[in-house]
Amino acid sequence: MPQWLDDAVFYEIYPQTFYDANGDGIGDFEGIIQKLDYIKDVGCNALWLNPCFDSPFKDAGYDVRDYKKTAPRYGTNEDLKRLFTEAHARNMHVLLDLVPGHTSEEHPWFLESKKEAPNEFWNRYIWTDNWFRWGAGGLRFITGEAPRNASYIINFFKCQPALNYGFLNPTESWQLPVNHPDALATREALKDVMRFWLDAGGDGFRVDMADSLVKFDDEKKSGTSAVWKDVRAMLDRDYPEAALVSEWSNPPLALNAGFHMDFLLDHANSGYRTLVRDYRLDGELRPFNDNSFFKKDGNGDIQRFLDQYLPWYETVKETGYISLITGNHDTGRISGNLSGRELALAYALLFTMPGVPFLYYGDEIGMRYLYTPTKEGGYTRTGSRTPMQWNRGKNLGFSTAEPDKLYLPVDPGADAPTVEEQRHDPNSLLNTVKALLRLRRAEPDLQSKPNLEILHAEKRLFVYRRSALVLAVNSGSAAVETAVSLTGTPVYAIGSCSLHEGRCRMEAQSFGIWKI
Ligand code: NOJ
């Protein structure tokens, strides 16, 4: 387990829209370098960059054309290496986005694979044995696109053919077993890409659709897990400080497979969703019927989160971490349904739970979800990917390009939140985030490892303990109290609350931390 994860707090950057240093309307590596001090000042000491590799960008870069070459629009491989060096000089770490399950349909491997004549890459993707054969077990097939007399399987969009790691239980001759030399060759190619970037100075990877590799996998994902266990053995042996976080949202399976951390995502029926995103959307993508725990006037109940989280936490706490997120490039912006005190309380919880938290760029100032037409396969996700709002200058400080040249438009509102304004307002969300993360840095009990114990969890009141600290949040609009046979001295508070003489009293929408 890389030791730096003990107190890591991540900042996710969508490189397209973070900071444009060369004025061409799109973000770049140099822009990220120039903002490292800002990120550090927010309180984050690690970055996750969304894919920044050569790509036709039909899915914002999740359609990789060359794993070993950066997209020229962000800079060269040397620029990315400079970003690693600059981050390390500030004691920060950088995770790249690894897309192991599929490539772009323009990747040279795929161009070879689709040829009529067999070649080295013929089995790098999953092809049937006849153009007229498709449809099996929920897999998605494309036919009629290649000279090769076969149909192929995609993993996500049509432009993303699935790489071939084999089938756990093959039932047709075109389904390779997982130990077929060609399936093993795909695995080695993946490891080769990982080594390439780790040798260049990267600190690990966020892994896209990590559970999707082996097809017809069983419930425990044994086939896919075997691939990751092999990868983890390589890391433990050759790169013990490299970290892996999975897009899986099932920590027991993901950590058993070898990941150090797994995200909780906003999938339907997920416990995470009940905290901050338990709403429905109307035709204009406006949330309604919001029963998120942090929605002051909703019907939230912390127990709905804990029902899923706690068994998972107990299962994985000795082996790795659960990563709670403020949001990401696929979710709606957290400020779409929560505001003001609701957001502050949500961050207070997300940043004081065990595990390694992730802050999505702009969430520290409450950037809004902005309806915009789809860009690079974003569809409804595009509204969460708009340019970072630095100040009141041109394009809110994101870029010096003319507005019509920007990757996406900036928030047009006169009240669009900016870093510059919030920096000077002691009560701003930005300063709340900074205070919370400062606290997390200063109090080892609040970091990734120290144990979580639940002291009280009922509807709007959640009281929990992390070693010598007691924490409590009341997300509702009524004051509440409960017996807690501990007395503590206050460390931090949002709103009014107390832990005194065996009672924890919490006014409406409050949060407190006490040392016992
Ligand atoms: C998950 C990524 O987060 C998402 O943005 C992407 O579209 C899909 N995987 C496909 O790679």
Q: Report the separation in Å between the CA atom of 162 and the middle of ligand 1, taken as the mean of its atom positions.
A: 13
- State the average pLDDT over residues 441-447: 98
How many Cβ atoms from other residues are within 10 Å of residue 232's Cβ?
17
Token digits of residue 26: 């799109």
Ligand 1 pocket test, pick from 62, 249, 375 with the greatest ligand atom count within 8 Å of Cβ, gives 62
**Beta-ladder partners of 490:** 514
Contacts of 497 (CB under 8 A, 6+ apart): 472, 474, 504, 505, 506, 507, 510, 511, 512
Q: Tell me the domains of the chain and their CATH numbers.
A: 3-99+264-444 (3.20.20.80), 102-164 (3.90.400.10), 451-515 (2.60.40.1180)
Ligand 1 pocket test, pick from 48, 330, 384 with the greatest ligand atom count within 8 Å of Cβ, gives 330
> In this predicted model, what pLDDT tens digit does every residue of 228-262 receive, in sequence order?
999 999 999 999 999 999 999 999 999 999 999 99
Q: Which atom of ligand 1 is nearest to the CA of 63?
A: 11
pLDDT at residue 511 in the model: 98
The number of residues making up the chain comes to 516
Q: Report the separation in Å between the CA atom of 63 and the middle of ligand 1, taken as the mean of its atom positions.
A: 9
Residue the block writes with tokens 């070693």: 467
Q: Are strands 10-13 and 358-360 parallel, antiparallel or unpaired?
A: parallel
> In this predicted model, what pLDDT tens digit does every residue of 127-152 receive, in sequence order?
999 999 998 889 999 999 999 999 99
Residues with CB under 6 A from ligand 1: 59, 62, 99, 156, 208-209, 247, 329-330
> In this predicted model, what pLDDT tens digit does every residue of 160-180 receive, in sequence order?
999 999 999 999 999 999 999
pLDDT at residue 487 in the model: 86
- Using alpha carbons, select from 417, 415, 439 the residue that is nearest to residue 428: 417
Token digits of residue 303: 């127990």
Asked if residue 409 has pLDDT above 90, the reply is yes
pLDDT at residue 253 in the model: 98
Q: Report the separation in Å between the CA atom of 208 and the middle of ligand 1, taken as the mean of its atom positions.
A: 6
> In this predicted model, what pLDDT tens digit does every residue of 211-234 receive, in sequence order?
999 999 999 999 999 999 999 999
pLDDT at residue 136 in the model: 82
Q: Report the separation in Å between the CA atom of 62 and the middle of ligand 1, taken as the mean of its atom positions.
A: 6
Q: In the predicted model, what is the mean pLDDT of the chain?
A: 97
pLDDT at residue 246 in the model: 98
Token digits of residue 322: 């659960």
pLDDT at residue 443 in the model: 98
Asked if residue 431 has pLDDT above 90, the reply is yes
Q: Report the separation in Å between the CA atom of 230 and the middle of ligand 1, taken as the mean of its atom positions.
A: 24
> In this predicted model, what pLDDT tens digit does every residue of 464-496 receive, in sequence order?
999 999 999 999 999 999 999 888 899 999 999
pLDDT at residue 143 in the model: 96
